[in-house]
Chains A and B, each alone.
Chain A
């Protein structure tokens, strides 16, 4: 393919027509046997069960399937083959999510018994290696963000947002302003959890809308702030890939009324090493280690949203933090105004380890190169889409350059052909590619979002683009073909209707068996 014409891939995903696991059950089969109890133990304590009062003993076995080991293995291997993992496809179509290469060496390291077989409450002397990794990653992230301290406790980006909101709430409450400051401001193009998490803490949420250039409206912010403002939480660049150059003015405006400014850097891939959170006036913020810092997404976790704070908010972090006294790493539970905890223990250690290893592999120059190449790749893809993909446009075209991603629109394609962005997405899957629309609400019509991280070569990008172009050409030529896609996936298009109807939805196999007769 190098240098030559790009071929449209003759692709078909594995289709196994694999039954639901309960359908594989054969009475008496065993998947694994349990260590038998020694005769002496049995003699000493009997069956172990009779200490229970009768009403606490389970009378009937749980109705789990009975399946031989090799069949269980085959079942899940087949399901894995019916999954388009990021490592297998050119996954630039999952915008906002920073799908990048998850180095295999980091997986090997994360599988060491020194990672998997340690208990979080072991004596500190016996987990110095783990504490050192956590502490040093904290130091690295401080360098990247300018913050003074990080916690790795939150188990994902939304969880990090909730942690941030908890810190903001605790800060104002300590200052006797907990009741008065009951509003959080965010932008409509920031992640949905920036609006949702504050509501859990009882905050009224104000969403700022974008102006014509895609940037949040600074006048709207000025109107929104008041003595009721608890804080401001924002993504920058937002999901459009547009950086708000007046961000420092935004944070100044919020600070003037006594609010706290939080930076959602779930995806910081276009600006790591280029712009630091503190220099934009943020008091706290977070990075997703499973996005920018290369830990795999695991179908949606386990993950870490690493929350960093400036000096004045250190005393509010969840306990414990990891500290170093010059000789020894230790856990510090003595945090005067700590919000308490958001997750048990200290964070998902394998994720922390992978982020550590990733930064060690790249160094300061490498990290900047990641950002630069992510931005280069993105602008290359944008240019090609604008030039070559009929019916596609970018949102907020007034703004020329984008950072790490772009929210596009197939509004024209739909007008011309009736084919929607969701139709295109399904058809792309027939060639082994994933594409995604956008978060809600869809203020950009027929959206799709592409984020080509640093992990993809020019040839990879060209292949994706060539296919997207082909699909759109097909939409103009034969719209029905695109609308009825997919054809080459493990299954065809699904029927959403039963999923919305309480009489028909089935969230488990047993619920399906109870309800499915109604479908006939």
Chain B
């Protein structure tokens, strides 16, 4: 059987070289069977699907396929043509041309599980990514990326539980709701997750509340810096001290693009640091650009608890030649199945390589400059937005990085309505927080990065001003 068009004409599909009928016959002869059906003889007839898959007619020419897909995609409105002020775990940053050039190389794009000698470049690139992130967080061990920050945080907490042999974790309640949902599911029913309150004025952790929650059952505290709501937690040292007093671990989630200007969490006592690579040269991709990293010190009791692949540098049979391989492979589910540390599999390696390219390009100065420009631009935006009657930005009294909560409660308008109107101006307004943070009322999480020019910010301010004014 082969593919046939409606008129009965046979199609040799370009993706299937051996759909040539004569070749199939030749191969069947060599195998010694009559037809391909015979090769399926182990599948009982009653299990074979006799119906018809209701799939659309194939778009056989590449042109027809391209045209069809492009037509659907054209219904999207992009952040290239519109001004995007949304972040919340997936941020609009500039992607250097080299990041695209390298991540689309067929060799990297299509490689998978090659051996250290034949895939040397893949191993080296991922080792280098680990090494570059290590400098950013100032720690000695970084994993081959996992799915996303949410997964990295969840695994960090499960690692902390194994290291401390405890089964309770405390999470700052200003965490991203998406990440919290991931952590909750990943911990259930083995690890208890408790939420710690924040100070309503600053957004930072309420240290007294934290102290009252903590006990010798607590494996770890998890907080984020900058937080999901954009403010910077300035009491990281105190928090780490509180958990260290009961021999628990301090786990901190971080936006790596902030680490040119912000001290890395390892400097205020973090034992495990995690975050997302997406800001480092990876397109938003409708949320498809996420990749989680985990970093720790090089102590054996930490390293042995990673579920992830850890690529290490080693020697080869030839003097002076670098080689790479898996460190402590026996930890992983590939080696130990149910006795392993969690599980490992295909996750987000290509984004690791891409983030490595990004950091290599940026260098120490670039990371400082980008952090600084993001801080300046976001401060300018907060200042300008606050000029609008009834608008308050930031909502929290604290220093911020990149994101901040804009309080619209006094405008009499809902964020939903404001954002609908902003679309008419070609602007995607900040993330509506009214569902996930009801106490903040009509507030939105705005994101300002290096891509937002003064003119962009002024355009936003003016549009918001008009929308709010017109309602009065």
CB distance A159 to B147 under 8 Å?
yes
Kindly state the separation between the CA atoms of A33 and B94 in the bound complex, as whole angstroms: 11
Residues of A within 8 A of B62 (CB): 105, 361
Among A193, A359, A426, A440, which residue has its beta carbon within 8 angstroms of that of B115? A426
Q: A302 touches which one: B325, B345, B351 (CB < 8 A)?
A: B351
Among the stretches B128-136, B213-221, B240-248, the one at the interface with A is B128-136
Of B48-56, B194-202, B461-469, the segment with at least 4 beta carbons within 8 Å of chain A is: B48-56
Min distance, Cβ B181 to any Cβ of chain A, angstroms: 4
| Chain B 199-256 interface residues, beta-carbon cutoff 8 Å to A | 232, 234, 237
Contact flags A373-390 to B (C-beta < 8 A → 1, else 0):
101110110011000000
Report if A334 contacts B (CB, 8 A): no
Contact A41–B70 (Cβ < 8 Å): no
Cross-chain contact of B73 among A31, A121, A129 (Cβ < 8 A):
A129
With a CB–CB cut-off of 8 A, which chain B residues contact A20?
Answer: 124, 127-128, 131, 313, 322
- Residues of chain A contacted by B102 (CB below 8 angstroms): 73, 76-77, 80
**Any chain B CB within 8 A of the CB of A505?**
yes
Q: Do residues A62 and B367 form an inter-chain contact, with CB atoms below 8 A?
A: yes
Report the contact-size class of chain A (Cβ under 8 Å from the partner): 35 or more
Check if A476 is an interface residue, CB within 8 A of chain B.
no
**Which residues B315-334 have CB closer than 8 A to chain A?**
315-318, 321-329, 333-334
Residue B340, interface by CB 8 Å: yes
Beta-carbon contact of A79 and B121 below 8 Å: yes
A324 at the interface (CB under 8 A from B): no
A514 to chain B: which residues have CB within 8 Å?
A: 140
Q: Which interface residue of B268, B288, B290, B313 has the most chain A CB atoms within 10 A?
A: B288
Contact A248 B47 (CB under 8 A): yes
Q: Which residues of A contact B158 (CB under 8 A)?
A: 200
**Mask: chain B, 94-122; 1 = CB below 8 Å from A; 0 = not:** 10101011101111111111111111111
CB-based contact B19/A369 at 8 Å: yes
The answer to whether A341 touches B185, judged by C-beta atoms less than 8 angstroms apart, is yes
Cβ contacts under 8 Å, A441 to chain B:
337
Residues of B within 8 A of A347 (CB): 287-288
- Which listed residue (B16, B98, B105, B151) contacts A455, Cβ 8 A? B16
User: Which one, B15, B181, B182, B337, contacts A192 given CB within 8 A?
Assistant: B337
Q: By the criterion CB–CB under 8 Å, are A81 and B373 in contact?
A: no
- The reply to whether B112 and A375 form a contact with Cβ atoms under 8 Å apart is no
Q: Are B78 and A51 in contact (CB under 8 A)?
A: no
CB contacts (< 8 Å) of B346 on chain A: these are: 156-158, 288, 290, 297, 300-301, 303
How long is the Cα–Cα vector from A370 to B364 in the complex, in angstroms? 50
- Contact code string B42-76 (vs A, CB < 8 Å = 1, else 0): 11101111001111111110100110111011111
- Which chain B positions have C-beta within 8 A of A41? 376-377, 380, 454
Q: B472 in the interface, Cβ–Cβ < 8 Å?
A: no
Q: Judge whether A419 is part of the interface by a CB distance below 8 angstroms.
A: no
Q: A114 to B322, alpha carbons, bound, how many Å?
A: 41
A84 touches B119 (CB 8 A): yes
Contact present for A434 and B115 (CB under 8 Å): yes
B interface residues, tally (CB under 8 Å) = 216
Complex contacts, B19 vs chain A, CB 8 Å: 369, 373, 454
Complex contact A64–B363 (CB within 8 A):
yes
Q: Are A40 and B90 in contact (CB under 8 A)?
A: no
Q: Which of B112-165 contact A (CB under 8 A)?
A: 112-122, 124-128, 130-132, 134-136, 138, 140-142, 144-145, 147-151, 158
0 or 1 for each of A70-94: is its CB under 8 Å from B? (1 = yes): 0011011111111111111000001
A247, B428: Cβ atoms closer than 8 Å: no
Closest A residue to B454 by beta carbon equals A38
Indicate whether A492 sits within 8 Å of B43 (C-beta atoms), given known contacts A505-B303, A510-B134.
Answer: no
The 8 A CB mask of A459-487 against B (1 = contact, 0 = none) is 01000000000000000000000001010
Give bound CA distance, A280 to B374, whole Å: 55
Given A58-B262, A117-B283, A341-B178, does the pair A380, B1 have CB atoms closer than 8 Å? Answer: no
Chain B residues with CB under 8 Å of A294's CB are 15
Q: Is A138 an interface residue (CB 8 A)?
A: no
**When A21-B360, A173-B189 are in contact, do A127 and B286 touch as well, CB less than 8 Å?**
yes
* Complex contacts, B9 vs chain A, CB 8 Å: none
A510 touches B131 (CB 8 A): yes
Whether A123 touches B73, Cβ cut-off 8 Å, given contacts A35-B451, A367-B53, is: no
Q: Distance (Å) between the CB of B366 and the closest chain A CB?
A: 6
List the one stretch of A270-278, A306-314, A407-415 in contact with chain B.
A270-278
Please determine whether A360 and B59 come into contact, CB atoms closer than 8 angstroms.
yes
Q: Contacts of B101 on A, CB cut-off 8 Å? A: 73
Q: Assess the A510–B135 pair: CB atoms within 8 A.
A: yes
- A457 and B423 contact, Cβ closer than 8 Å, known pairs A197-B343, A375-B39: no
Say yes or no for A195: interface residue by CB 8 A criterion.
yes
Q: Which residues of B contact A80 (CB under 8 A)?
A: 102, 105, 107-108, 121
Residues A346 and B287 in contact, CB atoms below 8 Å apart: yes
State whether the Cβ of A69 lies closer than 8 Å to any Cβ in chain B: yes
User: Of A81, A122, A368, which contacts B77 at CB under 8 A?
Assistant: A122
Known A-B contacts A34-B366, A61-B364, A80-B107; A56 and B288 likewise in contact (beta carbons under 8 Å): no
Q: Tell me if A263 counts as interface (CB < 8 A to partner B).
A: no
When the two chains form their complex, are residues B1 and A369 in contact, meaning their CB atoms are under 8 A apart? yes
- Tell me the nearest residue of chain B to A487, going by C-beta: B117
In contact, A207 and B337 (Cβ under 8 angstroms): yes
In the bound assembly, the distance between CA atoms of A76 and B60 in angstroms comes to: 36
- Please pick, from B13, B31, B326, B431, the residue contacting A380 in the complex, using a CB distance under 8 A: B31
Q: Which residue of A159, A273, A384, A498 is within 8 Å of B347 (Cβ)?
A: A159
Verify A368–B291 contact, CB threshold 8 A. no
With both chains docked as a complex, state the minimum distance between the C-beta of A480 and any C-beta of chain B, in angstroms: 13
A13 is an interface residue with CB less than 8 A from chain B: yes
In the bound complex, CA of A155 to CA of B155 (Å): 15
Contact in complex: B189, A201 (CB < 8 Å): yes
The answer on a CB contact under 8 Å between A87 and B110 is yes
The one of A37, A76, A84 in contact with B114, judged by C-beta atoms closer than 8 angstroms, is A84
Could you tell me the distance between the alpha carbons of A86 and B119 in the complex, rounded to whole angstroms?
A: 11
A341 and B150 contact, CB distance less than 8 A:
yes
A157 to B147, CA, bound (A): 11
Do B58 and A505 touch across chains, with their CB atoms under 8 A apart?
no
A335-374, CB < 8 A from B: 339-353, 356-370, 372-373
A174 at the interface (CB under 8 A from B): no
Is the CB of A209 closer than 8 A to any CB of chain B?
no
CB contacts (< 8 Å) of A505 on chain B: these are 303, 312, 327-328
Q: Verify B80–A113 contact, CB threshold 8 A.
A: yes
Do the beta carbons of A350 and B364 come within 8 Å of each other? no
- A35-B373, A115-B73, A344-B89 as given contacts; A494 in contact with B151, CB under 8 Å: no
CB of B135 within 8 A of CB of A53, answer no
Please give the distance in Å from A449's CB to the nearest CB on chain B.
Answer: 11
Nearest-Cβ distance from residue B401 to partner chain A, whole angstroms: 9
Residue B383 interfacial (CB < 8 Å): yes
Within 8 A of B (CB), among A1-54: 13, 17-18, 20-22, 29-38, 40-42, 44-49, 51-53
- Asked if A64 meets B349 with Cβ closer than 8 Å, knowing A35-B373, A367-B55, A490-B121, the reply is no
B390 contacts the other chain (CB 8 A): no
Instruction: List residues of chain A with CB within 8 A of the CB of B324.
Output: 494
The answer to whether the Cβ of B409 comes within 8 Å of any Cβ in the partner chain is no
Contact of A72 among B27, B98, B317 (CB under 8 A): B98
By a CB distance below 8 angstroms, the chain A residues around B89 are 344-345
- A48-B47 in contact (CB<8A): no
A–B complex contacts, Cβ < 8 Å, 10 sampled: A108-B66, A115-B285, A118-B79, A197-B343, A302-B351, A375-B39, A379-B39, A491-B116, A491-B117, A505-B303
Given contacts A155-B148, A361-B62, 7 further A-B contacts (CB under 8 A): A62-B136, A192-B336, A298-B350, A366-B58, A369-B13, A508-B130, A511-B141
